[in-house]
Chains A and B, each alone.
Chain A
Amino acid sequence: MTASIIGTSVRRKEDHRFITGQGRYTDDINRPGQAHAYFLRSPHAHAKIKSIDTAAAKAAKGVVGIFTGADIAADKLGPLTCGWMVTSKDGSPMKMGAHPVLAGDRVRYVGDHIAIVIAETHAQAKDAAELIAVDYEELPAVVDPAHAADAGAAQLHPEAPRNTIYQWELGNKPETEAAFKKAATKVSLNLTNNRLIPNAMEPRAAIGEYDDGTGGYTLYVTSQNPHVARLVISAFIGLAPEHKLRVVAPDVGGGFGSKIFIYAEEVVCTWAAKKVKRPVKWAAERSESFLSDAHGRDHITHAELALDADARILGLHVKTTANLGAYMSTFSSSVPTYLYGTLLSGQYNIPAIHVEVDAVYTNTAPVDAYRGAGRPEATFVIERIVEEAARQLKLDPVEFRRKNFVRTFPHQTPVIMAYDIGDYDASLDAAMKLANAKDFPARRAEAKARGKLRGLGYSTYIEACGLAPSAAVGSLGAGVGLWESAEVRVTPTGSVEVFTGAHSHGQGHETTFAQVVAGRLGIPLENVEIIHGDTNSVQFGMGTYGSRAAVGLTAVSRALDKIEAKAKKIAAHVLEASAADIVFENGEFKVAGTDRKLAFHEVALNAYVAHKFPTSEIEPGLKEGAFHDPTNFTFPAGCHICEVEIDPETGVTKVVNFTAVDDFGNVINPMVVEGQVHGGVAQGIGQALLEHGVYDKESGQLITGSYMDYTMPRADDLPTYKLGFTVTPCPSNPLGMKGCGEAGAIASPAAVINAVTDALGVKEFDMPATPQRVWATINRNRAAAE
């Protein structure tokens, strides 16, 4: 096997266990002597807790223990925290209210955790929870983010007057104002980015365990980043020293961001395990996931674009209110700021940008990163307003975009990012061809003859991933670095174990990482094992999110550099040649210009038997590690084109064609990459047409709390996508990769809504474009026309 395995659609190594029912997810694990936990949650959006009486519940059948916020406070267990400091424009630090792992004297959203009930069975724990008497004093709830900062609105946290966490800005205000002063045309648009509920198919789960003999805790948890969980639970919450806490994230059934965060339940189960001297297991029911997983998006935005007489963009001003929910989740502050404002330049030359973001508390579930995190919101703003500008100027949206594309690289935007490489015309051209955009007018006419409305929408997007250069994110307020680690261990028989800090929860790392190793070392794929997800095996890592597997893979690649260098030295001794004369090709170490050679496994064996080289100069063994800190973000970009057909009688919108052409740089496994695009686009179409997390404006009850009310995209809601790829290899990593996990969700909502507004002939349309909303719009327009 040679390097050619990189870039091929190798079938996945991990599939066998999943298709045969042998996956091992957290809820599949049972620990000896384990008891079951159920969390009593607040039924009110906002209330004072006057008292909690657990006596009857404690006496119920099977109950092992019940703990409340008072027990947490007595043990001085710290609150959950947000690890990214954002500073307001007036220089003040963000205003964070405490988020205790079990509520103190107040609850702030429906689903807020009040008590853990531990019993012999899950059913008994749930039954007993019903017997807990909580005396609440209900308080008025703040639900609508647009009014959270109003004078007279109820206050959630004393630390944050007017429920305002920060008022952040980025870009250049005077220059942007000047751009608007000299503008020939101004375009303005109101946008909402609807609240989404992530809904990974595996609900969250945790098993906490305490070993009295060693004083060590173990937590099995549905996490995208077990090392970060360990760090936070140890350093910030103070449950145990880091070396006395092992965190295992076994198979994880999807994350999409929602399993990045450190949640109360996993902390409380681990803490309680010591209290009850038994392992404590909790698995969320789907209704709990709806209530208590961190939600996504939820922005209200007003955007304005300034244009000169030649339709060139002069400036962009964006004002956004971001709803962060009742508490600040682990990375919530960064999502509507550094992951959002920095992407507002899109693929365009925009000389001046000013973005202002107010983040507010409301009595709703915490909001944090969800697939794309900030970048879908940014793309929605820029791609909607660019489309609207073209319409207002009566220009072809494609020509308008081309007029404003960035074409020289590197390109410094006014909002931090330095785009390293790209070819936006190439992906636009390829997408138009694949979508047969040229014949769209004929298709529209044909649909019209059938009484249907067709629309075409573009989204030429860019995103920043490969999170992230540590110094850069540090200067922006991140509490951690975002490098990645890898350790490559070669066994004496020449097979390879790779320990990575990245985590796989559907991305296929066990295959793609192995492809890189097998290709590089010229050994069979079967001889490579990828090990991840356990703090006991992997030293440290930052996990997987933000399409950052490229960072993990570069770390692997760097460790392989070191392996190769050492192996060459060993081979030189064994072959009695100079190390400088050793070449490594196709899995063999050769003395250049001779037929003397050693296979990779022979060198591995020599490394361990250590008979043929001076161990005073070369240490025995073959194991190397690397920490890779990227030098820049990576900038995947591309063009998505959506074609919809609307039935004016029912308001049903069907996506009839969806084309995605993406530039992810070099690709390790096209099959896996296509799968990532399919899934991302499905979530984006879901956001645009179907999904909406809705709270009752008065009571703060979650109205969309189950699959009966929250519309998940199903197979017959979606088309078969047409995919294409263009390639500009990324210059900032040796593999030339950019990352592919989020592009689908980032690009597609704008394409869909641009198509819907095109079909309906309206300027603004709030997601999701449900049949009811579409039908109402059509009828309002009809009535207005009559």
Chain B
Amino acid sequence: MPSVAMTVNGKAVSGEVETRTLLVHFLRENLRLTGTHVGCDTSQCGACVVHVNGKAVKSCTMLAVQAEGAQVTTVEGLTQDGKLHPVQAAFKEHHGLQCGFCTPGMIMTAVDMIRRIPDLDEKTIRAELEGNLCRCTGYQNIVKAIEAASKEMKGARA
């Protein structure tokens, strides 16, 4: 079995995987970072979104060995020194989650979205959420949370 090494949430990690092992399974099973979820088998739900080298990636769409040497951030790595990331806080404040299953993927997508697009309005957020499914919230409060986090982070940068 090939071995793979990468940095996950700032820590160097390595492990033995089958060639066919997906990144999401490496994170969940080898590293036991179970915040990243698997919601489909056709790369369409976004429950598995993590950041690889600073970009949002569906970790079910990438082999673990393809992440060799990469910097990976999962939802578990967002909280810094016990302080919630503004996007995490906004999801709570605006009730952007119910069952919580889509939430880690939504949050990782949102963080990436906010980083890429300085002025997020409702329409853009809805379009950008194209790759993430939520069955509980009807999206309304997810959109609200992302809009609020985007404003807050912009304020913090200014």
Contacts and interface: CB of A to CB of B under 8 A. Distances in A.
A and B associate in one complex: yes
Interface residues of A, number: 59
B37 interface: yes
A169 to B, nearest CB: 35
Contact of B91 (A19, A30, A200, A202): A19
A362 interface: no
A708 B18 contact: no
Given A25-B101, A201-B101, A678 B40 contact: no
Interface string A1-27: 000000001011011111111111101
B134 to A, nearest CB: 7
A715 B125 contact: yes
Query: B29, B75, B98, B142 — which one has the most chain A CB atoms within 10 A of its CB?
Result: B98
A708 B44 contact: yes
Given A21-B34, A286-B42, A201 B102 contact: yes
Contact of A15 (B33, B91, B140): B91
A506 B98 contact: yes
A16 B55 CA distance: 25
Contacts of B134: 201
Interface string A673-709: 0110011111100000000000000000000001110
A681 B103 CA distance: 20
A253 interface: yes
Contacts of B114: none
Interface in B114-158: 122-123, 125-127, 129-130, 132-143
Interface in A654-670: none
A505 interface: yes
Interface in B30-58: 32-42, 44-45, 47
Interface size, B (range): 35 or more
Contacts of A123: 18, 20
B91 A285 contact: no
Contacts of A714: 129-130, 132-133, 139
Contacts of A199: 135
Contact of A707 (B29, B45, B74, B92): B45
Contact of B41 (A9, A28, A706): A706
B126 to A, nearest CB: 4
Residue from the set A201, A203, A256, A714 with the largest chain B CB neighbour count within 10 Å: A201
Given A19-B84, A21-B35, A254-B135, A671 B95 contact: yes
A721 B100 contact: no
A507 interface: yes
Contact of A201 (B32, B34, B99, B139): B99
A203 B32 CA distance: 19
B93 interface: yes
B3 interface: no
A280 interface: no
Contact of B79 (A20, A27, A678): A20
Nearest to A251: B100
B76 interface: yes
A651 B32 CA distance: 47
B107 A19 contact: yes
B98 A707 contact: no
Contact of A675 (B34, B78, B141): B141
A675 B95 contact: yes
B97 A718 contact: no
Most B Cβ at <10 Å: residue of A19, A286, A744:
A19
A672 interface: yes
B99 A286 contact: no
A287 B40 CA distance: 8
A244 B130 CA distance: 47
Nearest to A11: B92
Interface in B49-90: 74-76, 78-79, 84, 88
A346 interface: no
A19 B103 contact: yes
A708 B103 CA distance: 22
A716 interface: yes
Nearest to B40: A286
Contacts of B97: 15, 18-19
A508 B88 CA distance: 17
Contacts of B104: 18-19, 21
Interface string A609-621: 0000000000000
A96 to B, nearest CB: 31
Contacts of B39: 201-203, 286
A674 B103 CA distance: 18
Contact of B95 (A12, A200, A285): A12
B125 to A, nearest CB: 7
Interface in B1-45: 18, 20, 28-29, 32-42, 44-45
A199 B34 CA distance: 21
A591 interface: no
Contacts of A21: 33-36, 74-76, 104
B99 A678 contact: no
Contact of B135 (A200, A251, A708): A200
B76 to A, nearest CB: 4
A597 B115 CA distance: 56
A691 to B, nearest CB: 11
B95 A672 contact: yes
Interface in A24-57: 24-25, 27-28, 30
A714 B101 CA distance: 16
A256 B135 contact: yes
A679 B126 contact: no
Nearest to B123: A716
A720 interface: yes
Contact of A202 (B37, B42, B75): B37
A285 B33 CA distance: 19
Contacts of B92: 11-12, 15-16, 19
B41 A721 contact: no
A636 to B, nearest CB: 18
Interface string A201-225: 1110000000000000000000000
Interface of A: 9, 11-12, 14-25, 27-28, 30, 123, 199-203, 251-254, 256, 283, 285-287, 505-508, 671-672, 674-675, 678-683, 706-708, 712-716, 718, 720-721, 744
30 contacts: A19-B104, A20-B76, A20-B78, A21-B104, A22-B76, A25-B101, A123-B18, A200-B101, A203-B39, A252-B99, A253-B101, A256-B135, A286-B41, A671-B95, A675-B136, A675-B137, A678-B140, A679-B98, A682-B139, A706-B40, A712-B133, A714-B130, A714-B132, A715-B125, A715-B127, A715-B142, A715-B143, A716-B126, A718-B139, A718-B140
Interface of B: 18, 20, 28-29, 32-42, 44-45, 47, 74-76, 78-79, 84, 88, 91-93, 95, 97-104, 107, 122-123, 125-127, 129-130, 132-143
Given A200-B99, A203-B38, A256-B135, 18 more contacts: A11-B93, A19-B91, A20-B79, A20-B88, A23-B35, A24-B34, A27-B38, A28-B28, A253-B99, A253-B100, A505-B99, A507-B98, A671-B95, A713-B138, A714-B132, A714-B139, A716-B126, A720-B140
